[in-house]
A = this chain, B = another copy of it.
Amino acid sequence: MKRNTWQREAVRGALDANDGFVSAQALHSALHSTGSPIGLATVYRALADLAVTGDADSLQSPEGESLYRACSTNDHHHHLICRNCGLTVEIEADAVETWAKDVAAQNGFTQAAHVVDVFGLCAACTAQAAASAR
Residue numbers of A with Cβ under 8 A of B are 60, 62, 64, 66, 80, 82, 89, 91, 93, 95-96, 99-100, 103-104, 107-123, 126
A93 to chain B: which residues have CB within 8 Å?
Answer: 99, 103
Q: Is the CB of B113 within 8 A of A115?
A: no
Q: Is the CB of B96 within 8 A of A99?
A: yes
Chain B nearest Cβ from A113, distance in angstroms: 5
- A123 to B110: give the CA distance in the assembly, Å: 7
- A64 to B63: give the CA distance in the assembly, Å: 9
Interchain CB contact (< 8 A) of A109 among B82, B109, B113: B82
Q: Is the CB of A119 within 8 A of B110?
A: no
Q: Is the CB of A122 within 8 A of B95?
A: no
A91 to chain B: which residues have CB within 8 Å?
Answer: 103, 107
